[in-house]
Amino acid sequence: MSQIQARQRLYRRSRQSLVHGFDPVLTAVVGLLLFIGTLLVWAATRDWYTRNGLDGQYYLKRHIINIMIGLVLAYAVTVIDYRLLRAYTPFLWGAGVLGLVIVLLPGLGSEVNGAKAWIALPGGFQIQPAELAKIAIIIGMSMILSERSHDSDGPTSSDVLQALAVAAIPVLLIIIQPDMGTVLIISAAVVTIIAVSGAPARWVVGLLLLAVLGGFVAVKAGVISEYQVNRLQTFVDPNADTQGAGYQLRQARITVGSGGLLGTGLFNGPQTSGRFVPEQQTDFIFTVAGEQLGFLGSGAILILYLILLMRGFSIARRTNDPFGRLVCTGVIAWFAFQIFENIGMTLGLMPMTGVPLPFISYGGSSMFATLIGIGLLQNVHARLRG
């Protein structure tokens, strides 16, 4: 067979894998979560906007647009063999760092709740570079830790230090914003990637101790804004900051608990309709599920998340490529910790850090990033036999 024929055959196999190689269970679960999220965002905003003479479908329309853009980005990620991403990793990482720098420049970044983390775009849209930086960090670390230019089965100390440097620069820029919720999520992914890479256990233990010490120093040094300190105090003492974070936490618990077993019914929640929970379509979207879908509906959402995480780990386990395994592991660790943090803060089990619920909360940057993460998982799955 000639070289040209071999390339043509490889191209046809690649195209076929994109059509038939996606994980059907993962695809179905993500589709269901996106559908449920769309209904919950609409339920969280429709009544209040309509009562005030505004467009009751405002957030619904924008949420659907975000999903459509995210799906296009997710598919675009699957077109190129993920193993070729190694060549583009420096550019992806550089773009992520550039976005984090731009958001800190005077006149370019927008400040919300004490964090200068958004860049305003035409049409009233905003983009949060820290969300997309998660992808750059995961790919960058996976590339370094998967290279094997030595006889050892695991990365050397030099490899680990290089990988940590790849993560440290974006993380420091995010701390300056400050956005401690995103820093915690990235830190969880970083520690997981290093642990799975085969690096000595002392690196994992050291990073965990460093994270605890860094958090203490950040609070004492005033790096964390007063707004975020109040949220941490509310976690320790729910009666603190009764007009701010404490009020938000109490209302969130009341809203979730009012749903009972079966819920009040979609679009029928009095707590949601009265807008008692601030930021309900974003950070506290799970309160809408708790009130209107009840314990059973909320439990179904948790089961869908569990299936998603299990499928992601299955893909990571079955691939023979170290780079693909680490990318999948980083994405799943990111999803798992963000899900746990969001639902945990809604129930008062975790400090309030302002992170959205993946695939469900309203928010363009978060939706784009999480769907790109799904695109990476599907990319690895489609080429398991390649």
Sequence length of the chain is 386
Cross-strand bridge partners of residue 115: 112
* Distant-in-sequence, close-in-space partners of 143: CB < 8 Å, separation ≥ 6: 85, 86, 89, 323
Report the SS3 class of residue 120.
strand
Assigned domain for 223 exists: yes
Segments forming the whole domain that contains residue 224: 21-91+176-382
Assigned domain for 165 exists: no
Task: Tell me the average pLDDT across 252-270.
Answer: 88
Is pLDDT at 230 greater than 50 in this prediction? yes
Task: Tell me the average pLDDT across 341-359.
Answer: 86
Output 200 or 297, whichever has higher pLDDT: 297
Question: Under a CB-based contact definition with an 8 Å cutoff, are residues 55 and 47 in contact?
Answer: no
Is pLDDT at 308 greater than 70 in this prediction? yes
Output 105 or 26, whichever has higher pLDDT: 26
Question: Under a CB-based contact definition with an 8 Å cutoff, are residues 330 and 141 in contact?
Answer: yes
Task: Tell me the average pLDDT across 122-129.
Answer: 79
Residue with token string 């965990």:
208
Is pLDDT at 17 greater than 50 in this prediction? no
Question: Under a CB-based contact definition with an 8 Å cutoff, are residues 186 and 167 in contact?
Answer: yes
* pTM for this model (two decimals): 0.88
Assigned domain for 141 exists: no
- Residues 360-381: pLDDT tens digits? 999 889 999 999 999 999 999 9
Output 320 or 20, whichever has higher pLDDT: 320
Assigned domain for 282 exists: yes
Assigned domain for 349 exists: yes
Which pLDDT band holds residue 354 (cuts at 50, 70, 90)?
A: confident
pLDDT of residue 11: 46
Task: Tell me the average pLDDT across 84-104.
Answer: 88
Is pLDDT at 174 greater than 60 in this prediction? yes
- As a whole number of angstroms, the distance between CA 376 and CA 316 comes to 11
Is pLDDT at 156 greater than 80 in this prediction? yes
Assigned domain for 130 exists: no
Q: How many structural domains are present in the chain? A: 1
Other Cβ atoms less than 10 A from the Cβ of 269: the count is: 25
Assigned domain for 166 exists: no
Assigned domain for 182 exists: yes
